[in-house]
Amino acid sequence: MNVHGIQPKFTDYKGYSEWRSDWRELYAHASSEVRGSKYRIKSFERVVEKQTGKEREVICDNIGRLKAEHVHKRAIARKLMTALEVAKVRWNQIKAMKQGVKDQAKEFPLELESKNIDFHFNKKSMEFDFIPMWVVKARGKTFYVNHMDCQAGFTTRETPDHPSTKGSLRVKRGTLVIDAAGNAVIN
């Protein structure tokens, strides 16, 4: 792994641990480079005070080059710290999603009659295997279910301005039944 491919893409604790291990190694190298470059700049600055003429110009040119490299190395170290913060947020979101799915499963089985029942595919289920594949909305409440069986007629509902869900299927005046295994039937 290199600094430019460090964006967190893990989906479980094992992936998070491996990512942190890779990050730790990269950050140790980057911070060592920053400290070394700072030391070299200070050393050259001490030497330049004692020099005159052409030698002074050459050393000043080297100091300028070293300072530019130092800025780049510090930017990489900052990028790594930002990636660590993103990874921590992602891991907390994953834990919250897992807990939310567990908490919702405790509400099943249930049966609701509703004026409108909307359902759509859950794109997060492609990234995280613990997220159910379908999202059902009825009576202002959202349910995440593993399987959908719609036995009633439905219409499409397009929402092109919505940031994530561009469309869903809508059942007018139906009954939503979700069993204990998280399988939904709309009648």
Entry pTM: 0.77
The first and second tokens of residue 88, run together, are 């921590």
Count of domains for the chain: 2
pLDDT tens readout for residues 21-70: 999 999 999 999 999 999 999 988 888 887 778 888 888 888 889 999 99
pLDDT tens readout for residues 79-131: 999 999 999 999 999 999 999 999 999 999 999 999 999 999 999 999 999 99
Same domain flag for 157 and 118: yes
Domain of 127?
109-186
Q: How far apart are CA 96 and CA 102, in angstroms?
A: 10
Distances (CA, A) of 161 to 120, 157, 165, 166: 16, 12, 9, 7
Q: Of 178 and 165, which is predicted with more confidence?
A: 178
Same domain flag for 33 and 75: yes
